[in-house]
Every structure is written in structure tokens, then in C-alpha cells.
Chain A
């Protein structure tokens, strides 16, 4: 009975209230992260295998697919998944050694979110634990950075933060900055923030 219709609608396909993240830009980008898969079945009329001569993919082909596709194919037993490189043993060892300094952003800007989505699929319980311990170890660093780099948001140490870590840092920094500004006093009305910081220079 399962997937009885060719075009059986999937969770990600409809904008029903079930999927509150449907329009969420970050959620869309998380699901665009790549997962290594091996095809159990072949498929015609698709452009997923660059080594194939025609528009098709053969059984046994190893390719990387974006999560949104890999997940659905996996649930239909058309592919097998392996753990994406950003969660491999190398990365884990580096995190173990010095969590705060690892450049997670270059590995995967959506490290935590992607981890949460991929863990149940690849059936690796250690990913979840690793995410928690990574976050615990880096959390304090984020907090300290937020209070010390109050006026230097472009600081180098921030370049290693993932998207969520950056948002956290920014949340701490901006509320503190707003408070300090209020304490000093000054104009209550400001240029609308949608207009950007500066208007084009008026000649």
C-alpha cells in the first residue's frame, strides 16, 4: 500500500500547517546539504550521476544527493545512505581535541540542523550525542565572544561558527548593544533598518 501513487505527496511537498518550516529559508538550505548515497535501483530520465553517459542512473552508482532527495529515496528503499563527511571520525576527533576552535562553518554551516535531520536516517545514535557535546563545548565560547566582541562583529574568531551559533552570538550582542545605546540616550527615532546603513552618497 505504501506510496501507492507515483506522485504520492510527501511531507516536504505541501504547505500544510504540518510543515511549519515550509517557507523557512534556513530549513530549505539545510535540506540542500549533500548526502553520499548508493543507488539500489536504476532510474531513467534523471541528472544525478555525472559519470553516466545518458540521463539516467545505474544500480550501484555512488553519488551525492541533496538531503531532500536522498531522504525520500531512502524511505522508498531506492538508495542506501552513508554518513556525510561533516560527521565523520576525523571531524569528531577534531571536535574532541578542541571543540571551540574547529571551523564547523566550512564543514557545514548547518552542522546541528543537518545532524538532527540525518541522524535518524542513518541510524547512528552517536551523532545526536556528538551534536549535544559539541554544542555544550562551544556554547561557552559563543557567550564569551558575544560579550567581548561587542563592537567588532566581523572578528575572525566568528568565522568558524555555524549559522545557528552565529545567530546566537548576534542575539546576545545586539540586545546588549541596544541596551547600552538606550543607557547613553540620544535620538529615539532611527532610519528604517530595511534601508541599510547608509544612503548612497548624495553629491
Chain B
């Protein structure tokens, strides 16, 4: 890689978009990162720039009386490169949003259907539209579950006993009523709960299952 071969990478077409995608991929596997609105906007801005250059090059060719369908001059290749960059940037942006949306859907299935049930550090990572997406996905899921009259988000592990023993790990909050009783879920207290009631608290990390 000779030194003269390199180019200033920050300026290069598609560089920022690549950074955005890499950022999604960084960190621990399966973990959500902060929504990077700033970088996303910069990539979107680059898309607009690509589009403007593309337009101006085509206009220039038209003004010169050239048939831009057949002419293969520097303006043609410039327009082509800008077009390809635009498409590439779009793919990166969509992939970023799409893959995050998948993880957000997954939160509804494994952690909870309400936004306030998600740990704060997760909520902070979502953009406003992502929060809306989460809410709407959850409510669609809820109305579907009420139509089929089944809780689809429980028994993620094949069920065994209907009741399990749990220990409270964190302040669950007062006045929590699980289906058959209202208990005082103080931290470190132990309870015998219906499996389906306990499951979501465990996956949220608020309780742990005790065995033996």
C-alpha cells in the first residue's frame, strides 16, 4: 500500500456510511448501541450532495447538447460514481435502521411490551422514532395476542413446573400485583410465583430463579 496510493479517507464517497455500519457491528454481539443520529444525518447529507452533483452533471451535458444516454465523457463517469455512491449510502442507512428495528422488536418479545418496562440504559439508546416503532409493534403484538387469546411472549423456555421459586434482585416497585396475589417484593425477598408471572421479571433482570 504505497503512500501515494491512499486518499483522504474521510472525504471519500461512502466513508461515513461505512463508519455507521461498522458502529452497529461494534461492541458486544447482540447489544444495542446508541442511535447515532449525527452520523446518520451526515450520511443523509452526503446522499443529497451526491444527488446535486449528479443533477448538475446531467444538466451540464444537456446544455452542451450531448446525449447523456450515450456519451461517455468525464461528466458521465462523474455522474455514475455519484449515483453509485448514493445507492451505496442508501443501502448503509437502511441496513442500519433495519437491523436496529429487528433488535427493537426482539425487546418486545423478550423484555417487555411497555417502554417503561425496558431498563433505562436501553431506552436511552433508542431514537424517538424507534421508541414509537417499539410502542406500535408492541401494541400490534398485544392486540394479536388478545385476539388469539394466548400469551405468546411467555414460555420462551419449554415449560416444566407451573410454579417456580425466585429471589428479587432489585427494587421491583410497590404495588406490583401478579396474577394471583399482591406481595411485597422487597429486594432479596424470596417468593413462590407462577412461572408465567415470574418469567418477564427474570428476563428483565429484576428477579432470579432459584433451584434445588
Residues of B within 8 A of A42 (CB): 74, 77
| Size category, A interface | 35 or more
CB distance from B101 to the nearest CB of A (A): 10
Contacts of A190 in B (CB 8 A): 202-203
Distance A189 CA – B211 CA, assembled complex (angstroms): 10
What 0/1 readout, one digit per residue, does chain A (47-89) give for beta carbons within 8 Å of chain B?
1111100001000001110101100110010100000010000
Interface residue ranges of B1-24 to A (CB < 8 Å): 1, 4-8, 11-14, 18, 21-22, 24
List chain B residues, Cβ under 8 A from A195: 111, 119, 122, 203-205
- CB contacts under 8 Å to A, within B77-123, are 77-85, 87-88, 90-92, 94-95, 98-99, 103, 106-107, 110-111, 119, 121-122
A152 interfacial by beta-carbon distance below 8 Å? no
Identify A43's interface contact among B22, B70, B77, CB under 8 A. B77
B170–A202 CB distance below 8 A: yes
Q: In the complex, which residues of chain A have a beta carbon less than 8 angstroms from the beta carbon of B130?
A: none
Taking a contact as CB atoms under 8 Å apart, the answer to whether A49 and B7 are in contact is yes
Asked whether B43 is an interface residue with its Cβ less than 8 Å from the other chain, the reply is no
| From B11, B30, B54, B95, contact of A47 by CB (8 A) | B11
In the complex, whether B69 has a CB less than 8 A from a CB of chain A is yes
Q: Complex Cα distance A202/B122, Å?
A: 16
Residue from the set B11, B87, B94, B157 with the largest chain A CB neighbour count within 10 Å: B87
Option from B14, B56, B122 in Cβ contact (under 8 Å) with A66? B14
Q: Given the complex of chains A and B, what is the CA–CA distance between A32 and B57 in angstroms?
A: 26
A128 within 8 A of B: no
Q: Is the CB of B81 within 8 A of A46?
A: yes
Asked if A24 and B95 make an inter-chain contact with CB atoms under 8 angstroms apart, the answer reads yes
Does any Cβ of B come within 8 Å of A175's Cβ? no
Docked-complex contact B12 and A47, CB < 8 angstroms: yes
Q: In the complex the two chains form, is A185's CB within 8 Å of B14's CB?
A: no
Q: Do residues A189 and B202 form an inter-chain contact, with CB atoms below 8 A?
A: yes
Q: List 27 A-B contacts (CB under 8 A).
A: A6-B58, A6-B76, A9-B87, A10-B87, A13-B91, A23-B94, A23-B95, A28-B91, A29-B22, A31-B88, A41-B72, A44-B57, A44-B78, A45-B78, A48-B81, A66-B14, A68-B88, A69-B84, A73-B77, A73-B81, A76-B80, A192-B204, A193-B30, A194-B111, A195-B111, A199-B170, A202-B170
Given contacts A22-B95, A56-B74, 8 further A-B contacts (CB under 8 A): A36-B5, A45-B82, A48-B13, A48-B81, A50-B6, A69-B81, A189-B198, A190-B202
A residues in contact (CB < 8 Å) with B: 4-7, 9-10, 12-13, 15, 22-26, 28-29, 31-32, 36, 41-51, 56, 62-64, 66, 68-69, 72-73, 76, 78, 85, 185-197, 199-200, 202
